[in-house]
């Protein structure tokens, strides 16, 4: 069996830089410096699952914008194909696509980001999602199969969670949503552990290693 040589950028690595043509004209990754970016690939234009995703991203674009976050799509289709597909969605679904879709016919960017999976199909991109922070560091990587569309609300939630972690120096528990309790960082050494035990508040701690930033947090729901 041939070895899969797909390279994928790692978490907390620099996002690979590129220039590209798109439905909004030429662009480059550095255009998004200082903003959050959700950079996602789709297998192909005029395909049913991809169409629902582009429409859903478009409908939620304002929510991403509120978070200083831009959307950027990519597939290996040509720019004329992208433009015609976008026009088709506006004509038939009444949805204007407010973000660029990159044309990557030579798969240069797709290969750079590990968006082409030889074990799946070496001619199309899979459903990768990269959440890139304002310093252009990759903070989250999600991969979905061709048969299943992404949950755009979950991607937005991840942007919220990453921004909360950065702004407040906390972690977020399972099923966290904005407004709910966050997790206090665990002690880094035994001295910090002993200090935490002295101030342990049973109303918001399960034990020394799991404490929340809100009293009476229902830890049993995790």
| Pairing relationship of beta strands 101-103 and 19-22 according to DSSP bridges | antiparallel
SS3 190: helix
Of residues 38, 57, 54, the one with CA closest to residue 46: 54
User: Tokens 């992404």 correspond to what residue?
Assistant: 150
Which residues in the chain belong to E strands, given as ranges?
A: 19-22, 27-28, 36-41, 69-75, 101-103, 127-132, 138-144, 205-207, 210-211
Rounded to two decimals, the pTM is 0.89
Tokens 């040589």 locate to 5
Return the active site residues.
50
Each residue's pLDDT expressed in tens, for the chain with a length of 222 residues = 344 445 789 999 999 999 999 999 999 999 999 999 999 999 999 999 999 999 999 999 999 999 999 999 999 999 999 999 999 999 999 999 999 999 999 999 999 999 986 544 455 667 899 999 999 999 999 999 888 999 999 999 999 999 999 999 999 999 999 999 999 888 888 888 887 777 666 668 888 788 888 755 555 555
* pLDDT tens figures, 99-153: 999 999 999 999 999 998 654 445 566 789 999 999 999 999 999 988 899 999 9
CA distance 222 to 23: 43
């Amino acid at each position: 069996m041939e070895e899969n040589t797909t390279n994928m950028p790692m978490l907390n690595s620099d996002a690979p830089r590129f220039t590209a043509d798109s439905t909004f004209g030429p662009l480059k990754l550095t255009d998004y410096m200082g903003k959050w970016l959700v950079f996602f690939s789709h297998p192909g234009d005029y395909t049913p699952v991809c169409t629902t995703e582009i429409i859903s991203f478009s409908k939620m674009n304002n929510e991403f914008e509120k978070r200083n976050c831009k959307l950027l799509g990519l597939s290996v289709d040509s720019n004329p194909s992208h433009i015609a597909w976008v026009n088709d969605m506006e004509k038939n679904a009444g949805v204007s696509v407010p973000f660029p879709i990159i044309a990557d016919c030579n798969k240069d960017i797709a290969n750079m980001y590990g968006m082409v999976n030889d074990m799946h199909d070496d001619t199309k991109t899979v459903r990768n999602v990269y959440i890139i922070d304002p310093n252009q560091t990759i903070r989250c990587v999600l991969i979905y199969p061709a048969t299943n569309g992404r949950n755009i609300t979950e991607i937005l939630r991840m942007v919220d969670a990453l921004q909360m972690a950065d702004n407040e120096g906390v972690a977020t528990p399972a099923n966290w949503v904005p407004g709910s309790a966050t997790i206090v960082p665990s002690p880094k050494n035994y001295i910090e552990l002993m200090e935490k035990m002295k101030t342990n508040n049973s109303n918001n701690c399960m034990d020394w290693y799991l404490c929340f930033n809100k009293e009476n947090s229902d830890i049993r729901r995790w």
